[in-house]
Amino acid sequence: MKVFVLGAGVAGLAFASFAEGLDLTVIDSNDFAGRKLLATGNGRCNFTNKNFSYAYYQSSDPDFFKKALDGFTNEDLIDYFHQLGIATTSLPSGRCYPLTMSAKSVRDVLYLKARENAKFIFNEKIIDIDLDKGLLIGQNNKYKYDILVLAGGGITLKNSGSDGSIYKILEKFHPISKISYGITNYKTQEKLSKKAKGCKVSGKLSLYIDGRLRKDSTDDIIFQAYGLTGTAVFDLSNEISLALMAGKKPEVRVDFLPSYGQEELGTKIKTLAGRYPQRLIGQILLGLVNERLIGDILKKARIDESLFAKDLSERDMDMLVKILKQMTFHIRDIYDRQNAQVSLGGFSTKYIDKQTMASKIYKNLYFCGEIMDVSGSCGGYNIQWAFSSAKAASDTIRSMNVQNK
């Protein structure tokens, strides 16, 4: 029984590492394995998260991913890395990394294990697939298969090989849900001054869609000329992109001082203003927020920068506190599609078996990872999905192989 895997990224490597005892070949258009994996977690490979929850996953079928994630959990993945010889560590946020803090070490060890189970063919671009005949047509050769596993990623980081070509090849044969880009940055209607460009703060970012609070994240927020980026933005990114794709109106509200309640912050500023009445209002704020943002904050609050602290009115105080706790940015579009970290959408999970990852339409066709309509939030959830879905598919195919012997 000849099994072929399309894609030597994280899902393909995960499948091959699990798939002992198979006649297995992995094909990739790149000249080496795990190219996209090397870029994950800023090169450190955030591979899972201890703070697991289904809420960190999105799919058109909200129950689809549960079986596979339950079958191979975050703790299972940590244990598996240890079995492979990859020591791990974690941050207070729950994000898990290799102890080396190097994605390359993960790629190298995973590839070593995969090579024990599979033959790899690199620099081979698949240009067509005959699902009825079980035939892969590459630029260099044709390959006959008994079972095909699609693990080629989605449409993100095209330079890594995830160019979406597999969707074009199979879109007439296997339904594909609408695709967009997640874990990326955004253009906003509101723009800050040049002085604020590149300024990073640690704050709370709350996402509202059509006026309703959906989710929040407390982490780094970076202000750019086009709009917003940073870890907090990435945490909310998938929901933002899905809202944009659905024609909804997402907005985010920045709380610069999440450790202060609104009333507490007002008292704090009043106390400082009373203690230093001859200082400019901007000088009063120097110890509370980044100096590069003070001019924009005062402008948003409609307070003259030349105003002395002693002249701050009740209206000024209320507006200042409101902006510090809830500066609003209306999201208009995705800014950086080319470097987005995950695809939203893909092969429709309606036509894939949630327990085996097998196609419900074509016999002997399986799916792993990002190529399906399942996406995880920032924080290691997508690599976890790649491993969990690969484990479900490999267990099923290995069982079939044993029965056929």
Q: What string of pLDDT tens digits covers the 405 residues of the chain?
A: 999 999 999 999 999 999 999 999 999 999 999 998 998 888 999 999 999 999 999 999 999 999 999 999 999 999 999 999 999 999 999 999 999 999 999 999 999 999 999 999 999 999 999 999 999 999 999 999 999 999 988 898 877 777 889 999 999 999 999 999 999 999 999 999 999 999 999 999 999 999 999 999 999 999 999 999 999 999 999 999 999 999 999 999 999 999 999 999 999 999 999 999 999 999 999 999 999 999 999 999 999 999 999 999 999 999 999 999 999 999 999 998 988 999 999 999 999 999 999 999 999 999 999 999 999 999 999 999 999 999 999 999 999 877 776
DSSP summary character for residue 362: S
Coil, strand, or helix at residue 163? coil
Same domain for 205 and 305? yes
Task: Give me the domain span that covers residue 202.
Answer: 185-335
Residues 194 and 59 in one domain: no
Q: Are residues 147 and 238 in the same domain?
A: no
CATH of the domain at 390: 3.50.50.60
Same domain, 378 and 310: no
**DSSP character at residue 352:** B
**Three-state SS sequence of 242-304:** HHHHCCCCEEEEEECCCCCCHHHHHHHHHHHHHHCCCCEHHHHCCCCCCHHHHHHHHHHCCCC
In a shared domain, residues 47 and 168: yes
Q: How many domains does the chain have?
A: 2
In whole angstroms, what is the distance from residue 370 CA to residue 53 CA? 18
Same domain for 137 and 82? Answer: yes
Among residues 335, 359, 375, which one ends one of the domains? 335
Q: CB-based contacts of 152: which residues, under 8 Å, 6+ apart?
A: 6, 7, 9, 12, 161, 162, 166, 371
Judge if 69 and 105 occupy the same domain: yes
Residues 328, 234 share a domain: yes
- Domain match, 350 and 363 both: yes
**Minimal CA–CA distance to 396: which of 359, 351, 357?**
357
Beta bridge partners, 184, equal none
d(CA 314, CA 257): 20
Model pTM score: 0.92
